[in-house]
A and B are shown apart, each in its own frame.
Chain A
Amino acid sequence: MKNKMRYKRRTFIYPYFFILPALLLSSICLLVPLIDILSLSLQSYRLASPIKGTFIGLTNYLSILTDHVFHICFLNTLLLGLIGGLLTVFVALIVAVICNQAFRGSGLLISLIVVIWAIPSIVAGRIWKILYLPNNLASHLLYAIGVFPSPTYTLLQDTNLALLTVIIASLWKFSPFAALIFLGGMRSIDRTIYEAAIIDGATPFKTFRYITLPLIARYFNIAVLFTTLYITGTVDLVYAITGGGPGYATEILASYAYKVYFLQWDFGRGGAVSIILICWALISMAPLLYFLYKQLFREE
């Protein structure tokens, strides 16, 4: 009896030994901060000030929400997330379709997009920045075909269009991942469906329209959500290309949070920006979590 009790207790506890080390370390870095940031955001917490940690309620949030820089950041995050996200996924679909065709070199094309995926965003941002510089090869070329008003014109200095530089670079950097999702989806389609269609005389365009597209439609949402989450949660491209400028024209919530923390050294307001950023991320995360959860626990 006693033995049985001990055995029972052991079977109850031992699964946690498997999961606890990972959960502990990850939580310290990623879950504890959520509570910590929330409490920071309710305090007056300037690192330079001698008095730290007075509870000031929602003052930080009010100060952030009425700040016009925050409005610009929020709008930019929205623009980058929605336009950048949709555009990226649209391009990714085209990439996946082309990679999925049977032709010489399709393997190399896939290698190319995998390499692009692996390039550090900060490095990719620098590479794009060089392309955007005024009086450069690219600006001369675009001037020659009449897109740019002069070869010294640069999108980087154009307050209205500077965000475009980040959107284009995001498109470049994040489309490979979305393309791989679509490509995986296409490869999981049963080959015999295509064979049947070809016997029935379907053209490549028709098989794409009536077989591939409907069968990969369910990956569309996932790709959009993943891409939006990545684009708006990454400051690397903004930092490497524009640094948030000119003015605040390309500042997004994520990059603004860094500035409030480490240029203004105001961890209270920084916390408030972080919490707003997390709320924004949770909105795109919720449906994604649901889908990924279903994938792994489908049979149960």
Chain B
Amino acid sequence: MNKLSYKVLLYIGVIVLVTFYLGPYFFAILTSLKPEAEVYILSLPSRFVFERYVKVITYYEYFPAMLNSIVIAACAVPLILILASPAAYAITRLRELKGRSLFFMLFLVMMLLPLPAVIGYLYLFTTLIGVYDTKFGVILVYSGIFTPLAVWILSTYFRGVPKELEEAAMIDGASRFRVFSSVLLPVSVPGLVVTAIISFIIIWSEFIVAFTITLTLQSRTVTVGTFLFTGTLYELNWPEVAAASVIATIPVAIVAFLTQRYIVKGLISGVVRG
């Protein structure tokens, strides 16, 4: 095979991939912009209709859900970092910790557990302690279920920090906690940023747990809002659903696009060594 056929094959591959990954969004955006009469006809829109986007954004149920998600993520992400970073430090560095590998396995099992399996319990639990359908309840549960992932990402990151840094501080008489907070954490800021970004995206995207432990607008998240949204006038209106789905995608797509380097690093560092 010569260079030309390689190039041709490569570009065909790229076009197929881009079509596959962007195609559904292209259809959805087109559907959301078509005038009502042309929605179910195979044609390009005769004119673009932007009213649906305005309608969705101003719909009284949509903005609160978006705001809830922002509040929940803004509280849960720092909490996850505060919980996960010492745990990850203990698992990777504290040889005094008996059963280190067992703890690590426990966190891994928790990270990989399918969430739909525990929804019945989470419903009973949040009802029992009185946080069902509150933002606080969602923050609490999200911190619990996504801390293991953060522990995993952080522990692979802490592994890469040279031990000499800590040893030097220990010789100077710093306590273990001091070493962790004043030596390890400052040099691990990139790792913390990676963990925060991935936690934010996972929290923003979570659906089934939020669907189970929220009921009203006071705690409903953006994914639940998108799922329940069928149109602004209590009738099933797919072009409006398309507009709502496009709007729900935008914030997370922007975050992901701007921080993709960190995301790639964080997602694969635990799986791929090198």
Which residues of A approach B to under 8 Å, CB–CB? Answer: 11-12, 14-19, 21-23, 25-34, 36-37, 40, 94-95, 98, 101, 103, 105, 109-124, 126-128, 130-131, 133, 135-138, 140-141, 144, 151, 172, 177, 180-181, 183-185, 187-188, 203-205, 219, 222, 226, 229, 232-236, 239-240, 254-255, 257-258, 261-262, 267, 270-271, 274-275, 277-278, 281, 285, 288-289, 292-293, 295-298
Contact = CB atoms under 8 A, between A and B. Distances in A.
Contact of B248 (A25, A123, A133, A232): A123
Nearest to B209: A29
8 contacts: A15-B90, A19-B87, A29-B125, A123-B248, A219-B271, A258-B212, A289-B105, A296-B270
A270 B109 CA distance: 21
B88 to A, nearest CB: 8
B112 A281 contact: yes
A12 B144 CA distance: 26
Given A131-B28, A136-B31, A205-B6, A289 B108 contact: yes
B119 A30 contact: no
Given A22-B86, A281-B117, A137 B14 contact: no
A235 B21 CA distance: 21
Interface stretch (B54-62, B165-173, B252-260): B252-260
Chain B, interface size category, equals: 35 or more
Contacts of B10: 98, 101, 103
Contacts of B115: 233
A174 B56 CA distance: 28
Given A28-B144, A289-B108, A126 B271 contact: no
A222 to B, nearest CB: 6
Given A14-B176, A22-B147, A185 B272 contact: yes
B33 interface: no
Contacts of A133: 238
Contacts of B244: 126
A243 to B, nearest CB: 10
Contacts of A109: 14, 17-18
Contacts of B42: 137, 140-141, 144, 151
Nearest to A107: B260
B86 A31 contact: no
A203 B9 CA distance: 14
B174 interface: no
A43 B203 CA distance: 33
Contacts of B144: 25-26, 28-30
B112 A229 contact: yes
Nearest to B244: A126
Q: Rank and list the top 6 A-B pairs by shortest CB-CB distance, nearest first.
A: A188-B274, A233-B114, A29-B144, A140-B42, A184-B268, A118-B256
A289 to B, nearest CB: 5
A105 B223 contact: no
